[in-house]
Amino acid sequence: MHWIVRIECEAEDGEHPSSSEAIRIERPRLEIAGDVGLTLEDGKRIMAALQRRVVADQLREYCDRSRRCSSCGAARPLKDRRRRVIDTVFGRVTVASPRYKRCRCGSHHEQTAPVSGLIPSRVLPELLRLQAKLGADLPYRRAAAILRTFLPEATCFSHATTRNRVIKVGQAIEDELHAEMAHRVPPLAPAQTMVVGIDGCFVKGIRGRRKTNLEIVLGRVEVPCRGSEVFAVVRHLDGRAKERVRTVLRRCGRTPDTAVTILSDGEDGMRTMLGRWLDPTVMHRLDWWHLYRRLEKMRKALLYLPFTSDRDWRDRLRAETWAIEHIRWTLWNGCTCVYLTDCAITQFCVELEIHRRAVLSAGREVDRIDHLLEQLAEFRRYLYGNAESLVNYNHARIAGERVSTAHVESTVNELVNWRMCKKQQMRWSPLGAQLLLHVRVAALNGCLERYAGSRSTTTAPANDDQPIAKAA
């Protein structure tokens, strides 16, 4: 059997329907399930033909409209007629691109090329957005392969094109950020309070550089009643990481009067960096999630300590677990004075020391206990280093305040680990990493359309006179 799909264009006034175009579909006599219905290839062929026709008709009408002089209304003289290749989601389309001279009436408008003016990058925004989104989420070759699978075959779906378009969108975001940094535009809607969760991670840098790993600082800015916004900055890109973070905070509504609370893991590097990047009025709060993880690691290590015959191992495990729980309780319930937690740690050390002596007298190895004691000493140093950032987590939680950066951990996974981790076998230049992160952040913040071209930014007004670029 065969079917014929006809495409007919009807002008807006309905008076001049253009000639139709037919797409012929053939399917074999029905014998197996695979013969039922249209195939993916049929669908691609139909959509590609439909797109060719729709794009050609739309641009012909647009060029005719653009030809009219905006001063006197007469048709301007034709300079020449070229062809332009335009990439669309349904394949690559070649269209006629006429160029018009200045009008004889002496209008000030220069010669124009309407198609080049309307689509200067020769790719439609929907495809640009799709390629940027997929290229930011997946390795470039896999993103290109997925597009080739579901969309009509075209050379615009190669991995190189996908990479170039991700970079193009990333560069647009980078340019906007530079403009914001230069002008320091005050926020449109100032925020009274703001909570910023910050974390850091590393990705592999390209070989031959002094720094083989690139440090990425990322976080989530939360403003009450406005939702949250994610940001990611490559720290050693151009020496302006501090300005980048400050610009993002300003965009989210930070003014000199905004009360900013920073949540971070309290590591030395991060603490020093935040101290230099943000002014002293910012309140720093040690992240509960990192505290909890450290204690949990020690609690699990208890299960692997050696047994001794002097005491039932269940009793000993119970006592040691209780000691860790006591440390956790003192931290959670607001011992802003770190000494009470210090007492709890000492109590745990005593338990471990008794255990250690019993193991030694039994003539067995005490490596694991020593390791746990070292961990405990390091934890104590960590708490003293962050003593000013400890708060009453219980009260803060009851008051509805943010006490943990677990949500930032998930942001790290979404932004970096799934796309830029070691498993992907990719190495990144600082700028390449920053541009890809820009696209991933924009996709996560739901504003990718703004940079990949939307109706408001790409649709030129009727009869617009775009001057021809010198290279054309």
Q: Rounded to the nearest whole angstrom, what is the least distance from the CB of residue 462 to Zn ion in the complex?
A: 16
**Cα distance between residue 84 and residue 122, in whole Å:** 8
CB closer to Zn ion, 101 vs 422: 101
Sign of CA dihedral 282, 214, 267, 265: positive
CB closer to Zn ion, 105 vs 182: 105
Helix (H, G, I), strand (E, B) or coil at 193: strand
CB closer to Zn ion, 71 vs 457: 71
Q: Rounded to the nearest whole angstrom, what is the least distance from the CB of residue 113 to Zn ion in the complex?
A: 18
CB closer to Zn ion, 65 vs 297: 65
Q: Rounded to the nearest whole angstrom, what is the least distance from the CB of residue 246 to Zn ion in the complex?
A: 51
Is 71 a binding residue for Zn ion by CB under 5 A? The answer is: yes
CB closer to Zn ion, 72 vs 96: 72
- ∠ CA 315-317-318, rounded to 5°: 65
Residue nearest to Zn ion (CB): 69
**Which of these, 126, 105, 97, 103, lies nearest to 469 by C-alpha position?**
97
Q: Rounded to the nearest whole angstrom, what is the least distance from the CB of residue 463 to Zn ion in the complex?
A: 11
Chain centre to alpha carbon of residue 390: 31
**Which of these, 409, 392, 436, 393, lies nearest to 197 by C-alpha position?**
409
**Cα distance between residue 21 and residue 376, in whole Å:** 78
Maximal CA-CA distance, the chain: 108
**Cα distance between residue 190 and residue 187, in whole Å:** 6
How many residues line the site for Zn ion (CB under 5 A)?
A: 6
What six digits make up the tokens of 83? 């062809």
Q: Rounded to the nearest whole angstrom, what is the least distance from the CB of residue 109 to Zn ion in the complex?
A: 8
Q: Rounded to the nearest whole angstrom, what is the least distance from the CB of residue 66 to Zn ion in the complex?
A: 13
The secondary structure of the chain in percent helix, strand, coil, rounded to multiples of 5, reads: 50, 15, 30
Q: Rounded to the nearest whole angstrom, what is the least distance from the CB of residue 96 to Zn ion in the complex?
A: 23
Report the relative pairing of strands 193-204 and 259-264 from DSSP bridges: parallel
Q: Rounded to the nearest whole angstrom, what is the least distance from the CB of residue 74 to Zn ion in the complex?
A: 5
Which one among 48, 49, 59, 69 touches Zn ion, defined by CB under 5 A?
69
Is 286 a binding residue for Zn ion by CB under 5 A? The answer is: no
CA-to-CA dists, residue 141 to 136, 254, 384, 423, angstroms:
12, 40, 49, 15
Query: Which residues in 84-123 contact Zn ion (CB under 5 A)?
Result: 103, 105, 107
Applying CB under 5 A, the span of 63-71, 169-177, 345-353, 419-427 interacting with Zn ion comes to: 63-71
Applying CB under 5 A, the span of 61-69, 120-128, 147-155, 452-460 interacting with Zn ion comes to: 61-69
Q: Rounded to the nearest whole angstrom, what is the least distance from the CB of residue 162 to Zn ion in the complex?
A: 44
E strands present in 163-212: 193-204
Applying CB under 5 A, the span of 44-52, 69-77, 137-145, 415-423 interacting with Zn ion comes to: 69-77
Phi, psi at 228, each rounded to 5°: -130, 160
CB closer to Zn ion, 111 vs 454: 111
Chain centre to alpha carbon of residue 470: 36
Tokens 């509805």 map to which residue? 400
Is 228 a binding residue for Zn ion by CB under 5 A? The answer is: no
Applying CB under 5 A, the span of 71-79, 167-175, 331-339, 359-367 interacting with Zn ion comes to: 71-79
**22: amino acid identity, one letter:** A
Is 158 a binding residue for Zn ion by CB under 5 A? The answer is: no
Is 72 a binding residue for Zn ion by CB under 5 A? The answer is: yes
CB closer to Zn ion, 71 vs 413: 71
Q: Rounded to the nearest whole angstrom, what is the least distance from the CB of residue 103 to Zn ion in the complex?
A: 3
CB closer to Zn ion, 72 vs 469: 72
CB closer to Zn ion, 77 vs 446: 77
Taking phi first (over 0 means left), then psi (-120 to 50 degrees means alpha), and beta for anything else, what does residue 463 get? left
**Cα distance between residue 99 and residue 464, in whole Å:** 13
User: Which residues sit at the interface with Zn ion, rule CB under 5 A?
Assistant: 69, 71-72, 103, 105, 107
